[in-house]
Each structure stands twice: as structure tokens, then as C-alpha cells.
């Protein structure tokens, strides 16, 4: 059995490795909040946020119109995929002598105003490209400001954002 002095020398020799291991364990155990999951409202029900491309286009156009030199803007966004909802489901497997069957049903919960499905996760759309038409669209400084704004809000790269001058 190692003596106390051997333990101390071992700890001195490997203290950096032990410190990094402790920090790693703390980071792994640190609680995180999932980004794609819905949040319960005040009654414990899961509320889903609605998404509308048209609303986002209008809000983006309004914000771009406030950029100095841009003027009244029109924005069009194209999507790679739409909103995807993952619903809770229950799976039942039955095995017979010669065949087996699998049945999958969506989980439904009773509410005061009727029945509703149980939403596990909602994934928001990914964008394919953006077109911005505005009077100041031919000014390079305005183009840069608009490209940065659209990129920040949609996650698109500058190669997928087109800005044109319009009336």
C-alpha cells in the first residue's frame, strides 16, 4: 500500500491532469437548456411558436428600410425546408408464431378545450437564399450593411444574399 508521501508526490506530478479532469467533469455535468424544444406555458402545456415566412420577410424589410441609405425595402426569402414538428408517439409490437406487427400511434392529451397532440420538438426552417430590393441597393456601404443584417437574422452566407437597386 502506498504511503502518504508517495500519494503526495503522485498528486504533485499529475495535478494538472487531475485539474483538467475535474473541470471536464463539471462541464459535462453542467445543466443546459435545449434550444429546439418547446417551452411550457403557465398552465404546464407546451406552446408552439408559429413561424411565417411572410411575417419574417416583412419584419426584415422593415428593419432594412431603417438602414441609412437603403430606402423602402422588399425582401424575399427561399427555404430549404419548412418547419418540422416531432410529435410524441407510442409504439406497440405484437409477435405471433409466424408474423409480427408493429403499430405506431401519436400520443394525444386531453385538455379543457379538446384533445391535442403532444409536441416533443419543433425545428425551424433553414434558408436557401435571400433577395433584397431597395433604392439604395447599388451603394456598396448599404449593400454591406444589408448583407450583414440579413446574414445575422437568417444564418445565410453572403454568397446566398442578393441585393438589387430598385425604385
Query: Residues 126-165: pLDDT tens digits?
Result: 789 999 999 999 999 999 999 999 999 888 999 999 999 9
Which fold, 52-83+123-165? GMP Synthetase; Chain A, domain 3 (3.30.300)
**Greater confidence, 119 or 155?**
155
Query: Residues 9-34: pLDDT tens digits?
Result: 878 888 888 888 887 777 777 776 54
Per DSSP, the residues of 106-167 read: E-EEEETTEEEEPEEEEEPPEEEEEEEEETTTTSHHHHHHHHHHHHHHH---GGGEEEEE--
**Greater confidence, 117 or 55?**
55
Query: Residues 60-103: pLDDT tens digits?
Result: 999 999 999 999 999 999 887 666 666 676 667 777 777 777 77
Most confident stretch, 47-51, 107-111, 121-125: 121-125
Listed by start position, the domains of the chain span: 1-32, 52-83+123-165
Q: Which residue has the cell 459535462?
A: 28
Amino acid at each position: 500500500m502506498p504511503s502518504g508521501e508517495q500519494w503526495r508526490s503522485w498528486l504533485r506530478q499529475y495535478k494538472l491532469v487531475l485539474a483538467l479532469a475535474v473541470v471536464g467533469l463539471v462541464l459535462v455535468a453542467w445543466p443546459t437548456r435545449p434550444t429546439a424544444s418547446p417551452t411550457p406555458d403557465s398552465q404546464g402545456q407546451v406552446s408552439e411558436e408559429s413561424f411565417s415566412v411572410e411575417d419574417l420577410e416583412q419584419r426584415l424589410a422593415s428593419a432594412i428600410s431603417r438602414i441609412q441609405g437603403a430606402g423602402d425595402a422588399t425582401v424575399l426569402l427561399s427555404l430549404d425546408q419548412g418547419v418540422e414538428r416531432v410529435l410524441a408517439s407510442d409504439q406497440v409490437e405484437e409477435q405471433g408464431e409466424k408474423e409480427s406487427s408493429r403499430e405506431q400511434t401519436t400520443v394525444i392529451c386531453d385538455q379543457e378545450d379538446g384533445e391535442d397532440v403532444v409536441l416533443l420538438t419543433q425545428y425551424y426552417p433553414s434558408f436557401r437564399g435571400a433577395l433584397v430590393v431597395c433604392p439604395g441597393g447599388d451603394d456598396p456601404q448599404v449593400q454591406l450593411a444589408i448583407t450583414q443584417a440579413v446574414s445575422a437574422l437568417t444564418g445565410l452566407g453572403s454568397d446566398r444574399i442578393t441585393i438589387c437597386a430598385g425604385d
